Each structure stands twice: as structure tokens, then as C-alpha cells.
Amino acid sequence: MKSVSNQRPPIMPGIAKGNIETIMQIEQAYMRQRSGVDRLCETISRFAGSISFVVVQIGGIVGWIVMNTGAIPGVVPLDPYPFSFLALIVAVEAIFLSTFVLMTQNRQTRQADHWAHLTLQIGLLGEQETTKVLQMLKLICARLGLDKVDSDGELKEMVGKTSVGMLAEELAQNLEKTRDLSEPVEGGK
């Protein structure tokens, strides 16, 4: 059995390192473009989604209840049972927290859309490059007299240009069919 320390870690190709660096630069640029409000919303959302927030909430509510039940001698209850003011504070807090979370999600959605568009552009570029390579290979095969290439129907389809509009339309139709199949039939049948 080989020792783990004797094994060399796999070497990452330079092009992969370059791609990672490019992605990091794009992500950092996007993060720098955030407004102050976006940063505040993210900070609040991050804290509200932590165990620290849960502990603070529980501590605050328990403290409020203890303070307002008369359990502490000399402390006059500000909000006696049924703790109406506490309910108001919690309700207002919920409104603000949900707003901050929604604002953060909207920014994350814009960022995801940005990456999706970039991925689409890269995919389209890759498809165009592959089509061009296939066209060049077909010409080389023709020049070498390899006639079987002309009878390959699948290759003929691949060598032709792909219409993004037609693909989008076909996808939309298939998605619509899928939705139609998943919807319950009226009348419970």
C-alpha cells in the first residue's frame, strides 16, 4: 500500500487555471458593482439565516417574557401578557426580514441570469466552432476520396448550421406539452 504523502497531487492544466482566474475576476467585478443597499441586504440575510440569529431571537423573546411577567422583582412590566407589543415587534421584524431576503434573492437571480447568458454564449460559440471543424473535416475527407462521409445522414445534419430560434421554439413546445401532461385533469378524471 502506497503512502498518501508519496502520491503527487494531480496537475491542473494551465488553461484550466486561466479559466478559473477569469471566472474569479468576473465574479469579483460583479461583487464590486453591488450597491450599498445590496450589501446591507446580503449582510442582514446572511445573519438572519444563521444559528446566531436563532439564539439572539430566542434570548430576546425569553428575556422579554421574563421581564414582562413580573418574574424579576422591581421591574415594572412594559408589555404585560399577552405581550401585544412583542407580537407587533416580531411581525414588523418578519416584514423587514422577508423584504431583505427577497431583495437579496432578486440580486442573486440577476447574477444567475448573467451567468446563464454567458453560458449560452459560450455554448453557441462552441457549437459554431464544432460545426466549422466538421465542415473542414468533411472537405478533407472529400479531398482524400472518402465517399462514405457523404452518405452519413447524421453528419450532414451536424455540418449544417443550427438555428437557435428553431431550437428555442422546439424547447418551448416540448415544455408546454410536459406542463399539459402534468396538470390534473378537470373533474378528477
What is the residue-averaged pLDDT of the chain?
Answer: 85
What is the rounded average pLDDT of the residues 114-127?
Answer: 89
Average pLDDT of 129-133? 90
The answer, yes or no, to whether residue 12 has pLDDT greater than 60, is yes
Going by the DSSP 8-state scheme, the letter that residue 69 receives in this structure is: T
At 54, is the pLDDT very low, low, confident or very high (cuts 50, 70, 90)? very high
pTM for the whole structure = 0.63
Region of 158 on the Ramachandran plot (φ > 0 left; ψ -120 to 50 alpha; else beta): alpha
Q: Is the pLDDT of residue 9 over 90?
A: no
Instruction: Name the most confidently modeled range: 4-8, 51-55, 78-82, 130-134.
Output: 51-55
Hey, what amino acid is at 3? S
Q: Is 1 helix (H, G, I), strand (E, B) or coil?
A: coil
